[in-house]
Structure 1
Amino acid sequence: MVSNLSIFFMVISLIVNIFLPIGGIIYLKKKYKVKLKVFFIGMIVFFVAVQILEAPIHSYFLSFNKGTSNFLLNNPLAYMLYGGLMAGIFEETARLIAFKYLIKENDNLTGIAYGLGHGGIEAMLIGGIASLNSIIYAILINKGGFQTLMEGAKVSKDVIDATYNHYINSSAFYWLAPGFERITAIIVHISLSVLVLYAVKEKKYIYYFLAVIIHAAINFPAALYQAGVITNILLLELLIMGLAVILALVIFNKIVKKSYKTSNDLENYL
């Protein structure tokens, strides 16, 4: 049986992935009158950049081209550099284009709203769907329908057994990871959105390149986990959360605070 605590944490992760970005933009809209179009532009730009443009390249290099895929999957350092830089280049270039050509507003709240949209759709598509699948699988296992469903889908017995054991034996806290991970990711997306918006606003495009490098660097631990170099998911999540918090604090102190002439202006913003 999958424990009730595990299923509860799966539901918590689902709620975080779906309602954190939605609740965030509702709050910004009500308190600061931000434009919803910025949020939706963030969602659309992420989908185009990652799902339509970047994903086929990954499919080619990691699946269809056996020479490249074997090299990358068997060399953790190369896989780390490839995955991190691809994410950084595609997503930060997408942000740059959005702020330069699609969005007229250039205040910090615009960057935050865009980041919520960019990171929010990622949370829904990745974390939300993963959490929902986990809930469905857990319920099926507990009701005895999991094996029948998987056999009907012609899944091999080895995969069925491995999946079943994974759900039965994993710690309940493991299922909080998708929610925790997306909170971290949204912090990163908001911070990098403010940074790239600053690059466009001030015409200092060195900050765009800095955003690419930061994005890649924050993705490096996840790539190492996928490559099997890092095996402790709790350590992974804490490491990335630490990097995200440091990034957010630096962006706030170096960019956001500079945008306000007095402490009262900043207090009104907060």
Structure 2
Amino acid sequence: MDLLSITHFLNGFLMIALPILLGIYLTNKFRMGWKLWLIGGATFILSQVGHLPFNSYLLTPLLESFQRTIPGPPGILVIAISAGLSAGIFEECARYGMFRWWLKDARTWRSSVLAGAGHGGIEAILLGGLVMWGYISMMAYRDADMSSLNLTSQNLAILKQQLLAYWSMPWYTTLLGAVERIFTIPFHVMASVLVLQVFTRRPGHQQLGWLGLAILFHTIMDASAVFLSTQLSVYLVEAVLGGMALVEVIIIFVLHQPEPLPPELSPILPVDIPPVFTPTQVEETTENLDQTRYQ
């Protein structure tokens, strides 16, 4: 097996394994179960139930017509902002719903961190699964007899180009998918911490400005990735995402709020031990028997 076969496989494997390892670390460190992590992951999946159809049937056709009207970088920038805003609204509103209705009692910094790790973790795992499926397909087609495939000449030419690009890229480029997930998961943790502030800054009064801030951050991150990918090399784009990840980690810890300590157990009062009754040995005599005869 050559180096590219190993690194392509490693890319998909890390995208799946790293979120799970992070979940193991956080659940052990916080001494919490996997419930919050799984609920965070389920929240991401539920957000896509509305997000993907909205993009496919409404947003994408509109943006395609818009791009024909305004080509070049200005059009790309509008498309990037629109796509980022779409993702931000659906995912952050789903996160808001998670804390309002699903995790009503989860109001600690630790719970938001764990739920955010699950949200970003499930996204990484699903994308890693797609990467692994693509890897298996490319391995199968790599040594296949192309003439035996029931493809038109045009589709066959496209497949050959894809195979050539897949198996000729530098080995370090194949790992960028895993690197991007490492830079993206901190955002989801930060976003969960931000949305939690809606409910904890003034108990009993929701501060929806924090939800708007989470949507804004989501829009900026996604729009930056989309727009810069058309203007800069892929390595510079990942460097920008890495810088944003560092800022996100700082925000996570800046918003760390002291958590209530568990109630102290009341001291156990000593229990008085009742005296042990020890019968007195009475000597049996004729006189003693006469005294107790009528008692």
Match of 1:87 in 2: 87
Larger Rg: 2
Matches within 5 A, 1:207-218: 207-218=210-221
SS of corresponding position for 2:172: helix
Percent identity, please: 25
CA distance in 1, matches of 2:50, 2:235: 31
Match of 1:187 in 2: 186
Q: Structure 1 residues 109 and 260 mapped into 2: Cα distance closer, same or farther (>3 Å)?
A: closer
Would the aligned equivalents of 1:137 and 1:146 in 2 still touch at CA under 8 Å?
no
How many corresponding residue pairs? 249
| TM-score (normalizing by structure 2) | 0.77
Q: Is structure 2 residue 183 aligned with structure 1 residue 177?
A: no
Q: Structure 1 residues 44 and 146 mapped into 2: Cα distance closer, same or farther (>3 Å)?
A: farther
CA distance in 2, matches of 1:221, 1:177: 17
Would the aligned equivalents of 1:96 and 1:200 in 2 still touch at CA under 8 Å?
no
Kindly state the Cα deviation for residue 62 of structure 1 after the two structures are TM-superposed: 5.3
Kindly state the Cα deviation for residue 146 of structure 1 after the two structures are TM-superposed: 7.2
| Superposition RMSD in Å | 2.4
Match of 2:10 in 1: 12
Tell me whether 152-161 or 235-244 shows the greater mean CA deviation. 152-161
CA deviation string 1:51-75 (max 9, x = no partner): x101011111355x3x542314742
Match of 1:76 in 2: 76
CA deviation string 1:76-114 (max 9, x = no partner): 021011111011111111111101111121111111111
CA deviation string 1:112-143 (max 9, x = no partner): 111111111110112x123313422442354x
Matches within 5 A, 1:33-182: 33-50=31-48, 52-61=49-58, 65=61, 68-72=63-67, 74=71, 75-103=75-103, 104-126=105-127, 128-142=128-142, 144-145=143-144, 147=146, 151-152=149-150, 156-182=155-181
Would the aligned equivalents of 1:6 and 1:173 in 2 still touch at CA under 8 Å?
no
CA distance in 2, matches of 1:260, 1:96: 21
CA distance in 1, matches of 2:42, 2:84: 21
SS of corresponding position for 2:231: coil
CA distance in 2, matches of 1:34, 1:72: 48
| TM-score (normalizing by structure 1) | 0.83
